[in-house]
Amino acid sequence: MRRFNQVEWIGFILLSGLALYLTYLLREGEIISFIHPKRIPLMWATLAGIMTLVAYQSTKIFTIPSRKASLKSYFSLGFILLCGGITLTAGETDRFSSVQTSKNISIASQMQKNYEVIDSTATQSEKVLDVERYAHDWAQAQARQADEAVFSSDTITVTGDNYIKVLSEIENNSERHIGKKMILEGFIYREPGFAPDEFVIARMYMICCAADAQITGLMCKGSKSTSLADDQWVRVEGILEVQAYKIDGEESLIPIIKISEVLPLATPENQYIYY
């Protein structure tokens, strides 16, 4: 005898909620706050799969309840929806605050630290490769792809499209660009050890998804920085220099922008740059 099955009905509601949530993210463009734009087609395919499950689940609403049926099987789905709802109610500042992501920070420098590459097939002693060599080779590969016209001028304007390429070039060939005017936009990032007149003009850098996002940027220095609040979006203009700076207790040569002008900006809808 067919009758109303409460457990399967709850499953139908939760699956429908997940489908609506994903539809909203895709339709409103909010999905790029969580994944790389290149993976959006995969999310549409995922949505199609969820809709198929919703249709199948609807056929189970009026069935004889199974003794093994339990709401426990839907707890994880309910938890996902709860987390999604909390995320949607959070403001942009809450989602992208540098306080939330300060564990992943990459400042362009002549000597990169804390970069580890793991080979799952290697022995334990072989797993940690030469940190500086790998980081240098990766940055050089990025810089080779950059448009040479960007660097031939006395003014280097950094955009979302060329951000990583420009920073890679500045990191590896900073002497070539000493004295040039730099123009770039980003948010104010500071660490506890920074002087009052120092900050990083930063962007959130995503390779795959929000879980691997990290802060990347250039060090800035100047008296105009003391009045700027953390996470505030600004446009910085200044002259590129190379100075000795202590990183993790070791002195390194790093590119620094000597600030000549700082203009406040509205926070952009999409704060990420992508690999």
Alpha-carbon distance of 267 to 70, in angstroms, equals 46
CA 154, 225, 193: angle at the middle one, nearest 5? 110
Torsion 170-146-183-114 (CA) sign: negative
Are 187 and 200 contacting, i.e. CB atoms less than 8 angstroms apart? no
- Tokens at 190, concatenated: 């500071």
Q: Give Cβ neighbours of residue 63 (< 8 Å, ≥ 6 apart).
A: 2, 3, 5, 8
Q: What is the pLDDT of residue 218?
A: 92
Are 265 and 234 contacting, i.e. CB atoms less than 8 angstroms apart? yes
**Superfamily of domain 100-109+147-274, CATH level 4:** Nucleic acid-binding proteins (2.40.50.140)
Region of residue 162 (phi > 0: left; psi between -120 and 50: alpha; otherwise: beta):
alpha
**How many angstroms separate the Cα of 166 from the Cα of each of 35, 143, 149, 171, 217?**
23, 7, 11, 8, 10
Alpha-carbon distance of 268 to 95, in angstroms, equals 13
Q: What is the pLDDT of residue 206?
A: 87
Provide the residue type at 55 as one letter. Answer: A
Alpha-carbon distance of 58 to 16, in angstroms, equals 10
Q: What is the pLDDT of residue 211?
A: 78
Task: Return the exposure string of 211-247: e unless at least 16 CB atoms fall within 10 Å of the residue's CB, then b.
Answer: eebbbbbbbbbbebbeebeebebbebbbebbbeebeb
Domain with CATH 2.40.50.140 in the chain: 100-109+147-274
pLDDT tens string for the chain (275 positions)? 567 888 888 889 999 999 999 999 899 888 887 888 888 999 999 999 999 999 999 998 888 777 666 667 777 788 878 877 777 666 554 555 554 444 455 566 533 443 333 344 444 444 344 444 555 555 555 555 555 667 778 899 888 888 888 888 888 888 888 999 999 999 999 988 888 889 999 998 888 887 788 888 999 998 888 888 999 999 999 999 998 887 777 778 889 999 999 999 999 888 888 87
Q: Give Cβ neighbours of residue 233 (< 8 Å, ≥ 6 apart).
A: 185, 186, 187, 188, 264, 265, 266, 267, 268
Alpha-carbon distance of 36 to 34, in angstroms, equals 7
- Tokens at 150, concatenated: 């960007």
CA 212, 213, 219: angle at the middle one, nearest 5? 135
- Token look-up 């980003």 returns 186
pTM of the model: 0.66
Q: Give Cβ neighbours of residue 164 (< 8 Å, ≥ 6 apart).
A: 142, 205, 216, 273, 275
Alpha-carbon distance of 259 to 224, in angstroms, equals 7
Query: What are the residues facing 187 on neighbouring strands?
Result: 202, 233
Q: What is the pLDDT of residue 257?
A: 94
**How many angstroms separate the Cα of 35 from the Cα of each of 25, 43, 272?**
11, 9, 10
